[in-house]
Amino acid sequence: MIPENMSASILIAPKRVQVQTVPVPIPESDQVLVRIEAVGVCGSDTHFYLDGHIGDMVVTEPLILGHEAAGTIVAVGSDVDSARIGQRVSIEPQKPCTTCEYCLSGRYNLCVCMEFYAAPPVNGAFAEYAVIQAKFAYEVPDSVSIEAAALLEPLSVAIAACRSARVTPGSRVLVAGAGPIGLLVARVSVLMGASEVKISDPVQHRRDMAVQGWATEAIDPRTPKSASEIPWADVFIDASGAAPAIQAGIRSLKPRGRTVLVGMGADDVLLPVSVIQNREIELTGIFRYVDTWPAAIEMVATDAVDIDALITNRFGLHRVEEALLCGSEDPFAIKSVIIP
């Protein structure tokens, strides 16, 4: 039996979260209703909690956060095969319009009418149930834990970043930031054939974790003449959002090197423009992902990526506020997961 109401953790105002009873969403004809069993806590959730906005995305009314989600299909819309009920699924948390120029060109992540989980005004998954288009509910094998299924979303960010950076066999890659995204970017780079993957982070225990199957080497950016300051890399991917890391990473690139910015930091960052010009460095950002879930599922199902190893903290819906602050308050936290 599916209840009429559910519990959800709702952002009422910056730094104010409440658990409330709200109606269970009703799936549209092409949607499925998922009983949420795990939700990863993302840095963007924390940004919305602390600041009430990310760039021009502003929270103006109560909002359910959370977009890294997985669970079990419990109901389907009229156009969806009822055989899907009972499937364990990972959610790609977006609904593109399918008709704008970006959707039609295959870049649906840039859809001008995108409805993305936990991006105002669209509700996310810090709740007991959520709906998603059936095609964006990916069945996962039993060998993939439900928590790992939720974390296919940040893995997808890493896959999209490495694809954008054109990591190929033999690439030499520098990653800034050994948080969840940085570790996943490093690991995906290795899987794509990079011969050398260095990850830079000032925190010792994160560097220690990085060399346990994620990167080939971990470096301290505070070390004089660190490897991040010497032109050697083909690819630099920033997963820190820190201006000094971005500047040092760009300087690490050889001529015709490529930079992809993934981390969220200040809206404006001073860049070494002369280096970019003189070395003809390519620089771009990454915004979500396109068609990454099949690859992410394969990586986890075959044990190529041990994504469960990232999880350090688990919380219930009534402790979402604690989970949102965990990354900054617990120096040993890597990835927190909400269990509704």
Q: Hey, which residues does 284 pair with through a beta bridge?
A: 260
- Owning domain of residue 78: 5-150+306-338
Which tens digit of pLDDT belongs to each residue from 50-81?
988 888 888 999 999 999 999 999 999 999 99
Q: Quick one: tokens of 107?
A: 């870049």
Would you state the pLDDT for residue 227?
Answer: 56
Please check the confidence at residue 101 and state whether its pLDDT lies above 60: yes
Domain annotation covers residue 131: yes
Would you state the pLDDT for residue 228?
Answer: 57
| Cα 157 to Cα 57, 74, 163, distances in angstroms | 19, 27, 10
Domain annotation covers residue 56: yes
Please tell me the total count of domains within the chain.
2
Query: Do both 280 and 227 map to the same domain?
Result: yes
Domain annotation covers residue 291: no
Query: Do both 98 and 137 map to the same domain?
Result: yes
Dihedral sign of CA atoms 206, 338, 237, 270 in order: negative
Domain annotation covers residue 298: no
Angle at 299 between CA 323 and CA 157, to 5 degrees: 50
Domain annotation covers residue 37: yes
Domain annotation covers residue 290: no
Query: Do both 133 and 249 map to the same domain?
Result: no
- The answer for 291, left when phi > 0, alpha when psi is -120 to 50, beta otherwise, is left
Which tens digit of pLDDT belongs to each residue from 183-214?
999 999 999 999 999 999 999 999 999 999 99
Query: Do both 145 and 166 map to the same domain?
Result: no
Query: Do both 196 and 121 map to the same domain?
Result: no
Q: Where are the beta strands (DSSP E) in 41-85?
A: 53-54, 57-58, 63-64, 68-76
Please state the pTM of the whole predicted model: 0.95
Query: Do both 196 and 99 map to the same domain?
Result: no
Query: Do both 142 and 176 map to the same domain?
Result: no
Please check the confidence at residue 148 and state whether its pLDDT lies above 90: yes
Query: Do both 83 and 189 map to the same domain?
Result: no
Which tens digit of pLDDT belongs to each residue from 240-262?
999 999 999 999 999 999 999 99
Would you state the pLDDT for residue 73?
Answer: 98
Would you state the pLDDT for residue 229?
Answer: 64
Give the separation between CA 138 and CA 294, rounded to whole angstroms.
8
Query: Do both 9 and 131 map to the same domain?
Result: yes
Domain annotation covers residue 122: yes
Query: Do both 130 and 249 map to the same domain?
Result: no
Query: Do both 144 and 10 map to the same domain?
Result: yes
Domain annotation covers residue 202: yes
Q: What is the CATH number of the domain that holds 66?
A: 3.90.180.10
